[in-house]
Amino acid sequence: MRSRAAAYPLLAVLGWGVMFPVLASALTRIDPLNLTTARYLLAAVILVAILLLREGSGALRPGGRAVEIVVLGVVGFAGFNLLTNLALEHAAPQQISLFVATTPVITQLVRWARDGVRPKPLLLALSLVALLGVGLVITRGSLAGLGQFGLGGLMMIGAVLGWGIYTHGASRFGDWSPLRFTTLTALAGTAAMLAASIGADAVGWQHAPAAADLAAVAPQLAYAVIVAAVIAVLAWNTGVQRLGAANAALFMNLVPVTTFAVQIARGYRPEPVELVGAAITIAALIAANLATRARVRPSSLPQSTAVTDQIAVVDPVAVNAR
């Protein structure tokens, strides 16, 4: 039975791992801000439709928490996704996926900074080991490669930090359904993305896509919305319910593995030091997740909550799985 349940989070992380190369290919035709906005406009419509069907129009009201919703939506949805797509212009998809895989550890550090909940020293040490692995992938083991970390790496640090803050803030919404919290923050984040895109188009930082450009990336956009932001989320939700959040979260470490596999299938040939760095990062993150699970007794974990536990996910829409 548990082996069947494991198929759900496995499907989800495979979908997210493929997403990064897919988005990178779409960025050859559409600017990052416009691509992100188009993706989440469609995803938000789907989420609103599901919420209306399941909870009615009353669930769309912020209930006196509009400021929190807007802040978390802007920091989480808009911040994470805009910075990730911008970073894909400066770093390879496999490098981006390794940064995203550090999200659970970053969330622990955010809790330490904001709540004073200090992680185990082992977790901090493993975090440094994971970052060392990321550094090996980016620099290919050469100090001369430090310059390649550059803007893309800084953007991803900001993106993951924003998502950690978002996940931490979501713990204050335990009285809301995960779907309601996700939908309202998605709407706030999408509005911020739309404003950023309009502003960037107006000042010439990017250009509004032509119909031909949208048609050219229609397959990538369809995948990013339908597979990565809908099907994968539903699969993840089911896996969390059947396996528990801590067990399901271990599958997140397969995201960079999937991304590397896709890139290799597309003709990329990683150097041995890159494979070593990826292995170090993944091993450190798995060990960090196991160390985190050891801090919480299984009997004390809630069976169904919003994003209240210590593990974060890699796709902003996927917060409704928590």
How far apart, in whole angstroms, are the C-alpha atoms of residue 222 and residue 262?
Answer: 18
Report the Cα 132 to chain-centroid distance in Å.
21
pLDDT tens sequence across 206-222: 888 888 998 999 999 99
Residue-level pLDDT at 299: 46
Closest residue by Cα to residue 157 from 181, 138, 172, 182: 138
Residues in the chain: 322
- Tokens for 233, please give them: 């989320």
Q: Smallest Cα–Cα separation from 30: which of 210, 236, 170?
A: 210
At residue 245, does pLDDT exceed 70?
no
Q: Is pTM beyond 0.75 here?
A: no
Cβ-Cβ contacts under 8 Å for 253 (sequence gap 6 or more): 101, 282, 285, 286, 289
Mean per-residue pLDDT of the chain: 79
The residue among 147 and 112 whose pLDDT is bigger is 112
Q: Which of 143-147, 200-204, 262-266 shows the lowest per-residue confidence on average (mean pLDDT)?
A: 143-147
Higher-scoring residue by pLDDT: 114, 33: 33
Q: What is the CA radius of gyration of the chain?
A: 19
Q: How many whole angstroms separate alpha carbon 255 and alpha carbon 266?
A: 17
Select the more confidently predicted residue: 213 or 174: 213
Sign, CA dihedral 138-143-148-149, equals positive
Check: CB of residue 31 under 8 Å from CB of residue 206: yes
Q: Which residue is listed with tokens 């791992």?
A: 17
pLDDT band of residue 148 (cuts 50, 70, 90) is: low
CA–CA dist 212, 210 (Å, integer): 5
Q: Give dist(CA 30, CA 35) in Å, integer.
A: 6
